[in-house]
Amino acid sequence: MSDLLNVTSSPHVRAKDDTQRIMLYVIIALLPATCFGIYNFGWKAALLIVLTVASCVGSEWAWNKLLHKKDTVKDLSAVVTGLLLALNFPSSIPWWMAILGGVFAIIVVKMFFGGLGQNIMNPALGARAFLVISFAGYMTDFSEYPGFVDTFGGATPLATIKAGGLAQVDILRMIIGTTPGTIGETSMIALVVGAMFLILMGVIDLRIPGTYILTFAIFVLLFGGYGFNMDYLVSQLAGGGLMLGAFFMATDYVTSPITPTGKIIYGIILGLLTGVFRIFGGSAEGVSYAIIFTNLLVPLIEKWTVPRAFGIAPVKKEVKTDEK
């Protein structure tokens, strides 16, 4: 038997979780919101989800094939991107927009920057922003929801609140999810159940979503115009894409900080921007743009929050004095 030691490069201790497993956990965590979205909006929601996921997976496979790159479809990241993008769609959009959004998310936002780990913003949100800018009418049309006109008079709950109609909104329905909105954002209960799964599996922690939601809550209580009204606060937390964004998109490994302090700063900025967009902006929503803008700040946040190596003293600046 040889007395030589087998020396390998670091890391010497490896976690069992790889990219595929983590993405599988995210898919499982999104199933409650996905199933509820299909129940809430019908067969067209299911069709849009299938088309979006298929276009994302197909785009990534085709890109790797054409450029003779390693096939990365099996890591399931394209499936997660497609699912998240579809859950950000109104059920009323035409089928071709789902395909266009999937292609844009993968090719432009992800692959043009080098693939998974290199993209500078969340691919699903980048594609959603592209579609909102290009087809605003389709992306803000929630008229296909059953009982839409009778219940909300032509506006989503957040839009009704922004117009001063807090009393017209059924907060319990917002928490359950039986309201107009995008396919995956309406049910606060379904999203929190999925988020709890991710936390229990160690995929995410509460630094980013907790700081994000807390900062946003304080902001809307101070500047929302309703004072410390708990009905207003709960409706803001349950409405729109806050829960979907906070737990499933702001926590994206690639586009969020890796340092503990950076995660807290990141969450605070997200909460402030979302509050500004919702309260003072022209739209009743603002989660998508808040996450995209803050994604771009991540390199700067990480630069200033990298912890000092153990045993290394901080460098002291020498103060020069004039000698006579």
pLDDT computed for residue 15 by the predictor: 55
Q: What is the pLDDT of residues 169-215, one digit of tens each?
A: 889 999 999 888 899 999 999 999 999 999 999 999 999 999 999 99
Under CATH, which architecture does the 19-303 domain have? Orthogonal Bundle (1.10)
Residues 210, 309, 295, CA angle at the centre, nearest 5°?
Answer: 40
Q: What is the pLDDT of residues 260-280, one digit of tens each?
A: 999 999 999 999 999 999 999
Contact by Cβ (8 Å): 94, 138: yes
In the chain, the amino acid numbered 158 is L
Q: Residue by residue, what is the 3-state secondary structure of the chain?
A: CCCCCCCCCCCCCCCCCCHHHHHHHHHHHHHHHHHHHHHHHCHHHHHHHHHHHHHHHHHHHHHHHHCCCCCCHHHCHHHHHHHHHHHCCCCCCCHHHHHHHHHHHHHHHHHHHCCCCCCCCCHHHHHHHHHHHHCHHHHCCCCCCCCHHHHHCCCCHHHHHHCCCHHHCCHHHHHHCCCCCCCCCCCHHHHHHHHHHHHHCCCCCCHHHHHHHHHHHHHHHHHCCCCCCHHHHHHHHHCCCHHHHHHHHCCCCCCCCCCHHHHHHHHHHHHHHHHHHHHHCCCCCCHHHHHHHHHHHHHHHHHHHCCCCCCCCCCCCCCCCCCC
pLDDT computed for residue 142 by the predictor: 84
User: 206: how many CB neighbours lie within 10 A of its CB?
Assistant: 16
pLDDT computed for residue 150 by the predictor: 43
Contact by Cβ (8 Å): 92, 141: yes
pLDDT computed for residue 17 by the predictor: 67
pLDDT computed for residue 18 by the predictor: 82
Task: Give residue for tokens 């290394």.
Answer: 312
Residue 59 CA: distances (Å) to CA of 78, 101, 121: 9, 11, 18
- Contacts of residue 71, defined as CB under 8 A and 6 or more positions apart, other chains included, come to 61, 64, 65
Rounded CA gap, 140 and 54, in Å? 23
Per-residue pLDDT of the chain (324 residues; tens, 9 = 90+): 455 555 555 554 455 668 899 999 999 999 999 999 999 999 999 999 999 999 999 999 999 999 999 999 999 999 999 999 999 999 999 999 999 999 999 999 999 998 888 889 999 999 999 999 999 999 988 877 654 444 444 467 888 888 888 878 889 999 999 888 899 999 999 999 999 999 999 999 999 999 999 999 999 999 988 889 999 999 999 988 999 999 999 999 999 999 999 999 999 999 999 999 999 988 888 899 999 999 999 999 999 988 766 656 555 655 555 554
pLDDT computed for residue 321 by the predictor: 56
pLDDT computed for residue 319 by the predictor: 54
pLDDT computed for residue 209 by the predictor: 97
